[in-house]
Structure 1
Amino acid sequence: MIAAVKRELLVRHLEAWAPAALHRGRRVTYAHGFADADGGESAEAAARVLVEQTDFVRGRELSMLLVGEQTDAVRDRLAAVVGDAALTVFAVSGGTDARLAVALKAAGAQRVPLLGFLDSSAGEPPAPATVAALAAGKPAEFLLVLPPGTAVEPYRAGWPLCASVELATGDEPGELLLFGTTSGKSLEGFKEALWAVDEFAGVRYRDPGDPDRHLIDISLSPHPGPLRRELLAHLARVGSATVTELRTFTLTSTIYRAADATRVLHTLVDSGAVTRQPPTGRLGGDVVIGVGD
């Protein structure tokens, strides 16, 4: 079931990313690492989304780069999906860590819109340098899935905006999904996709920053409890912050959306758990929120 959640999230993000990237750049590259780890299922799902975009490719180049231990079978599987669509598929075998950076250069993916998807949950996590190689795109972003218990901090280096979520089925640690981007708008889009995926039986989210490790049902209106705790803990550390700063903290340091922060702040103010300056009026971005008495 976790595989289904990851695949739907990839599809939803690609559906938003691909048309925007094609509008921005003459050449666009999607890189799919560990392409053979699941028999090519996620690569096929991605290819179907990209093929749907080829009607809008006139005058542009849309490429899909497959990298893995042995990608021949995946390339053959995708051939029937791609057909005569204007999608160029490059397949490179020899391992994602060993080949991705070189393959990106060979495919001309520097300084063009670039999205990388690397699902390493079935084996060893990639080297941080492998993920960093995706920053050659402009703009660039990545979706990375790591085995349970893997530290995400090394993969954040060089990426101005990141967010992570744990995909869990119980109390034990779950797979970690990390998203990195150079665009605040894209981070907002990822968060919207995160909560819009279909709820699969037994799969829930956990915010890596929640000390209570609360499991959250996948919903367009997620349970606010963990966010409430994280906002109060953040305010206890910093003393006070504007609504805009707290929305940014929520977007970049929790699994929630900026809009979720606004809703939770309203309840915290109404209950007296936090103070606000000025004490009345609309809860605008410049209102300062402080810890309660």
Structure 2
Amino acid sequence: MSSEEIATVKRELLVRHLEAWAPAALHRARRVVYAHGYADAGGGASFQAAVRVLTDQADFVRGRELSMVATGAALPAVDAPFPVHTVPGDTDAMLAVALKASGAQRVPLLGFLDGAAAGAAPAPSTVAALTAGKPAEVLLVLPPGSSADPYRAGWPLFTQVELAVDDKPGELLVFATTTGKSLEGFKEALWAVDEFAGVRYRDPGDPDRHLIDISLTPHPGPLRREIVAFLERTGSATVTELRTFALTETVYRAADATRVVHALVDAGTVSRTPAHGRLGGDVVISR
């Protein structure tokens, strides 16, 4: 696996998400906190990229308070126009304490934890500590072969995607949030990143483990299979329920589900009730 290209994809996704998150959070609240665990991992490249993005948001900070909490064994020097609280030490041992000390409770809070770059998955309690934010969200990267299930507690919205270049298990990128709008924004950023040297996505829920090229219009094959399997389990579902399923349980966006359902209806693979008219959210789709 090309670790350098994988690292570039992760960093670009972090940058894109921060660029959307910071101004929205600063508009919503007077105080916001960004937490970066394992800040020294990968030579600190992602940490420095995050500092640059937040520095560019300086115009939004007037009358607001933006701060960063960073943990890691050997933290790089930081020059930023906002408070950066660097806490040397193990992220599992220090992050929850640092969040509490910085007053990150009940304020917009975004965390980034690249356990894959650090060589070890964080403790579930470390990720759960980020749910103290309101709203809260986390970008979490797990080493190849890891399971995301232990990290679901406390997160009402949770999605995951595998970063891969071949048939071997890839790093697992997890996004969890307390708001649906943030999940939609993450999915848009996920498919908008540039493609790097064969890095592709794999949907953990796809039994065929199909590799998907990074594209604004991703190949619908895995989503088609997952929607058909979902309908076989449930018997039927509304278009709204299928859109929600795609958004929360697959790597795809809600809009991708609408396109797939249209194709399935046209092919006669599924039926719809009522049989005619616009394919609105309350239309029932049956296998």
* Range of TM-score over shorter length: over 0.9
Q: 1:267 aligns with which of 259, 263, 266?
A: 263
Say whether residues 1:248 and 2:207 are aligned partners: no
Amino acid aligned to 1:276? R
Name 1:130's counterpart in structure 2. Answer: 126
Gaps of 5+ in 1: none
Gaps of 5+ in 2: none
User: 1:146-181 CA deviation, whole Å, 9 max, x = no partner?
Assistant: 000111011011100011000001010000000000
Let me know the Cα RMSD of the aligned residues: 0.6
Aligned residue for 1:38, secondary structure, equals helix
Partner-residue secondary structure (3-state), 1:221: coil
1:31 to 35, 39, 45: 35
Looking at structure 1, the residues matched to 185 and 16 of structure 2 have their Cα atoms a distance apart, in angstroms, of 10
Query: 1:187-243: CA deviations, max 9, x gaps?
Result: 000000000000111100000000000000000000000000000000000000000
How far residue 70 of structure 1 moved from its aligned partner, in angstroms, is 2.3
2:105 to 105, 110, 113: 110
Q: What amino acid is aligned across from residue 43 of structure 1 in structure 2? A: F
Say whether residues 1:69 and 2:73 are aligned partners: yes
- Aligned partner of 1:95 in structure 2 is 90
Q: What are the residue-to-residue correspondences of 1:88-237 with 2, within 5 Å? A: 88-122=83-117, 123-237=119-233
**Counterparts of 2:29 and 2:73 in 1: how far apart (Å)?**
30
CA contact (8 A) 1:63 1:89 kept: yes
Aligned residues: 282
Q: TM-score, normalised by structure 2?
A: 0.97
Aligned-residue offset at 1:16:
0.4
Counterpart residue number, 2:59: 55
- Partner-residue secondary structure (3-state), 2:41: coil
Q: What is the distance in 2 between the residues matched to 1:55 and 1:180? A: 28
Residue 9 of structure 2 is aligned to residue 13 of structure 1: no
What is the identity, as a one-letter code, of the residue corresponding to 1:211?
A: P
The list of structure 1 runs, each at least 4 consecutive aligned residues, that deviate by more than 6 angstroms after superposition, is none
Could you report, residue by residue, the CA deviation over 1:32-76 in whole angstroms, capped at 9, with x for unpaired residues? 0011111110011111110011111111111011111222xx1x1
SS in 2 for 1:234: helix
Rounded Cα–Cα distance in structure 2 between residues aligned with 1:205 and 1:7: 15
Identity %: 74
- 1:102 and 1:187 mapped to 2: Cα distance? 27
- 8 Å contact kept, 1:70–1:95: no
Aligned-partner Cα distance in 1 for 2:126–2:73: 15
Letter in structure 2 aligned against 1:136: A
